[in-house]
Amino acid sequence: MSNRLVHSQSPYLLQHAHNPVDWFPWSPEALEKSKIENKPILVSIGYSACHWCHVMERESFEDEATAELMNAHFICIKIDREERPDIDNIYMDAVQAMGLQGGWPLNVFLMPNQKPFYGGTYFPNQQWKGLLSNIADAFEKHEDQLAESAEGFGTSLNRKETEKYGISAGDQELDPDELAEIVTKITTQLDPEWGGMNRVPKFPMPTIWSFLLDFALLRRDEKLVNQVLFTLRKIGMGGIYDQLRGGFARYSVDGEWFAPHFEKMLYDNGQLLELYAKAFQVSGDSFFKEKVTETVAWLEAEMLNGEGGFHAAQDADSEGVEGKFYVWKYEELKELIADELPWFSKLYNLKPTGNWEDGVNILFQTESNAQIAEEYGMSLDEMQIKLKNVKAQLLEVRNQRIYPGKDDKVLSGWNGLMSAGLIQSFYATGKKSMLDLAIKNLEFLQEKLLVNGVLHRAYKNGKAYTPGFLEDYAAVIRASMMAFEATGDARWLDFARSMTDFCIAQFYDESDGFFFFNNPNAEKLIANKKELFDNVIPASNSLMARNLHRLSLFTYEEKYSDIASKMLGGMKELILKEPGFLCNWASLFLEKLVPTAEIAIVGNGASLKSIEFQQKYTPNSIIAFSESLTENAAILADKTPDPDGNALIYVCFNHTCRKPVSTREEAISQLPYLA
């Protein structure tokens, strides 16, 4: 028996294709059927790597009696939130407006006009059946009251975010003291023992560390640099990091980065790759380089789609058990690595009775490799070689296990985040294969997901589907500009510019100066939302504002900078109040305040000089280079080499250049710092 989801591309929807529930995908057919039959709509939203989504499916959606109730009284729509984040945003907002906790699975009840009247997240089966019966009864007897309630939530959903938070876009003065105040507010919330923010569960939140690192480097604040590196070390030593294969899980359920929800999402790994690459560039500590190279190895081994795209996610569960693929029984390790087990156990806090639930062990490091080497009478080099061999041996055994489920659709925005991470990793390690992966990925997005000038959100089985959202455009634009910096190939700057112009034409709301998340011209929804707060992925508006700022510096087109300045002006008061969830905006504040260095290198040897620059991390700068005179980017126009044709480096601010120099050291001395 199968339902309509059997025709979907989404692995998450396909997981529900054989439920006895008469599921529809989100479609005009389902919405129309609800109106014709005058039945409430049940929208159930989740994603492939979501543990509790699987639990609710097993308990309720596979149960005949529950399905009977759902089919009799509701039009049931199943949505993959990764394919349709626009719909997820609307109904997550609605549930929170009802005073309820948000999360996934998200289950929301709507009137036939799509306006919500009740919702929640995971419900155990008995509670779910009771709720279905109560709502069916209420709809039959008190439809008018439910409609009235839905009308209220519908009105609330249509309130502009700018109105809700009292934002009005416009230029504002930027004050260094205010920036310092933002940093103080964030740093007082740090966990001094385990790193990260002082809260549980713990999410890596890359935008926070990226902002703090840039601020610390521009301020020459060694203490703050070390605080950021401390957090990144703790995350990299934790169970949240896959110590054998590489790659990071979404978050840890505790405050010590110990026990993760084991799913690995592409968006986390792209951002963390970029951050760990920067950490290595700044510190020279091989620990950070190891995390970069291992994570790229995981990406190549397990996440490529064969055409240059990267898959979306790996599930937490295998064989129906969360984390089963990743954990170890002590007895198993005893058989495999008996001679090395004493030091290996100490390194990863392994216990004969298990260090986690059900007697199993998560690899979790609390002491450095050097400390363990000293304790067991080994040189650090000797210990590292042994560790590499043991990890390879255990990985080989682990690879024989049943793998977690894979969400093998390709999402353009998440691929953009990963491409950016790979380009930064190339800068840090010098491995050209990492740059090649990024360029191949961007070419794949251009060839397969750009259809008739419209970037699409998702791709699977040779087909691009769902027009892209602001998140997709913003992440791909950013990666394209980075590709231009890394290769000097003007096609990437042109690509970034054409997509930016499309966003301004299609997503920009002139009335308040911000961009819609969904393209209002692509599909009529009950509300058009704007994403303003940075979360595990930076807000699409903050990504876009930073893109506009950088694009204006490459192209010398003020229209881009004007929009970015007005957006930042509108957000400034909020950033000062709540910086923890506005750190990508705070990064734009930093870039606008300092100001951003425009580095142009022209002449023979320009590409080598640009690599010298990029090997070290220089925050708050953009680079363009060309071996010959060129007009392909305004930043390079009118720049000339020395009389012998050798490359000169121009350091400029606000399109005004300092005296051209011939070495990186001289150029660095021309860069500004925060007082």
The DSSP secondary structure of 339-400, one letter per residue, reads GGHHHHHHHHT--TT-SSGGG-B-----S-HHHHHHHTT--HHHHHHHHHHHHHHHHHHHTT
- Rounded Cα gap, residues 292 and 428, in angstroms: 9
Cβ contact 311:318 at 8 Å:
no
- Rounded Cα gap, residues 151 and 166, in angstroms: 23
Return the pLDDT at 424: 98
Point out the domain boundary residue: 353, 377, 400: 400
CATH at residue 286:
1.50.10.10
- Rounded Cα gap, residues 203 and 531, in angstroms: 20
Q: Closest Cα to residue 241, out of 67, 366, 427, 418?
A: 366
**CA end-to-end distance (rounded Å), the chain:** 68
- Rounded Cα gap, residues 239 and 360, in angstroms: 13
What tokens were used for 213?
């690192």
pLDDT tens per residue, range 432-441: 999 999 999 9
* Per-residue H/E/C for 577-591: HCHHHCHHHHHHHHH
- Rounded Cα gap, residues 297 and 304, in angstroms: 11
Q: Closest Cα to residue 313, out of 441, 407, 203?
A: 407
- The three-class DSSP label of residue 268 is helix
Query: What does the DSSP 8-state code read for residue 6?
Result: G
Does one domain contain both 35 and 132?
A: yes
pLDDT bucket at 573, cuts 50 / 70 / 90? very high
What tokens were used for 469?
């959202």
Does one domain contain both 71 and 111?
A: yes
What is the residue type of 90? I
674 belongs to a structural domain: no
Q: Indicate the pairing of strand 75-80 with strand 41-46.
A: parallel
- The three-class DSSP label of residue 651 is strand
- The three-class DSSP label of residue 594 is coil
pTM for the model stands at: 0.96
Cβ contact 537:206 at 8 Å:
no
Does one domain contain both 287 and 262?
A: yes
pLDDT tens per residue, range 425-476: 999 999 999 999 999 999 999 999 999 999 999 999 999 999 999 999 999 9
- Rounded Cα gap, residues 648 and 211, in angstroms: 30
What is the residue type of 159? R
CATH at residue 64:
3.40.30.10
Rounded to the nearest 10 degrees, the angle between the axes of helix 583-593 and helix 206-219 is 20
Residue 48 has pLDDT above 90, yes or no: no
313 belongs to a structural domain: yes
Average pLDDT, the chain: 96
Residue 354 has pLDDT above 90, yes or no: yes
Domain count, the chain: 4
525 belongs to a structural domain: yes
Return the pLDDT at 395: 97
Does one domain contain both 347 and 263?
A: no
Residue 654 has pLDDT above 80, yes or no: yes
- Rounded Cα gap, residues 122 and 53, in angstroms: 8
169 belongs to a structural domain: no
Residue 145 has pLDDT above 80, yes or no: yes
Q: Give the structural domain span for 317.
A: 176-323+407-593
Does one domain contain both 567 and 615?
A: no
Residue 172 has pLDDT above 90, yes or no: no
Residue 127 has pLDDT above 80, yes or no: yes
Return the pLDDT at 74: 98
171 belongs to a structural domain: no
What residues have CB less than 8 Å from 371, skipping those under 6 apart?
none
What is the residue type of 37? E
Q: Indicate the pairing of strand 621-626 with strand 597-602.
A: parallel
Does one domain contain both 349 and 447?
A: no
Cβ contact 273:296 at 8 Å:
yes
Residue 7 has pLDDT above 90, yes or no: yes
Residue 675 has pLDDT above 80, yes or no: no
- Rounded Cα gap, residues 16 and 23, in angstroms: 8
What number of residues does the chain have?
675
Percentage of residues of the chain with pLDDT beyond 90: 92
What residues have CB less than 8 Å from 282, skipping those under 6 apart?
213, 217, 225, 229, 617
Q: Which helix (H) or strand (E) holds 83?
A: none
Point out the domain boundary residue: 371, 400, 429: 400
Residue 156 has pLDDT above 80, yes or no: yes
- The three-class DSSP label of residue 145 is helix
384 belongs to a structural domain: yes
Which range among 127-136, 331-340, 426-435, 629-638 shows the weakest confidence by mean pLDDT? 629-638
Place of tokens 């995350």: 235
Point out the domain boundary residue: 111, 131, 159: 159
**Averaged pLDDT, 353-359:** 97
Return the pLDDT at 171: 83
620 belongs to a structural domain: yes
| 441 Rama class: left (phi>0) / alpha (psi -120 to 50) / beta | alpha
What tokens were used for 595?
């100001």
pLDDT bucket at 632, cuts 50 / 70 / 90? confident
107 belongs to a structural domain: yes
- The three-class DSSP label of residue 673 is coil
Q: Closest Cα to residue 420, out of 436, 438, 437, 434?
A: 438
Does one domain contain both 183 and 309?
A: yes
Does one domain contain both 411 and 396?
A: no
- Rounded Cα gap, residues 97 and 269, in angstroms: 31
How many of the other CB atoms lie within 10 Å of CB of 94? 27
Place of tokens 């990071």: 248
Concatenating the DSSP letter of every residue in 215-239 gives HHHHHT-HHHHHHHHHHHHHHHHST
pLDDT tens per residue, range 294-329: 999 999 999 999 999 999 999 988 898 999 999 999
What is the residue type of 125? N
Does one domain contain both 340 and 425?
A: no
Which range among 15-24, 95-104, 419-428 shows the weakest confidence by mean pLDDT? 95-104
pLDDT bucket at 553, cuts 50 / 70 / 90? very high
Concatenating the DSSP letter of every residue in 92-120 gives HHHHHHTT----SSEEEEE-TTS-EEEEE
Return the pLDDT at 59: 97
- Rounded Cα gap, residues 54 and 1, in angstroms: 19
Does one domain contain both 481 and 452?
A: yes
What residues have CB less than 8 Å from 25, skipping those under 6 apart?
4, 5, 7, 8, 13, 77, 78, 79
pLDDT bucket at 513, cuts 50 / 70 / 90? very high
Does one domain contain both 565 and 610?
A: no
How would you label 520-531 residue by residue, b for 16+ Cβ within 10 Å and e otherwise?
A: eeeeebbbbbbb
pLDDT tens per residue, range 376-393: 999 999 999 999 999 999
Q: Which helix (H) or strand (E) holds 107?
A: strand 106-110
**Averaged pLDDT, 355-362:** 97
pLDDT tens per residue, range 188-233: 999 999 999 999 999 999 999 999 999 999 999 999 999 999 999 9
- Rounded Cα gap, residues 195 and 231, in angstroms: 4
Percentage of residues of the chain with pLDDT beyond 70: 100
Does one domain contain both 20 and 32?
A: yes
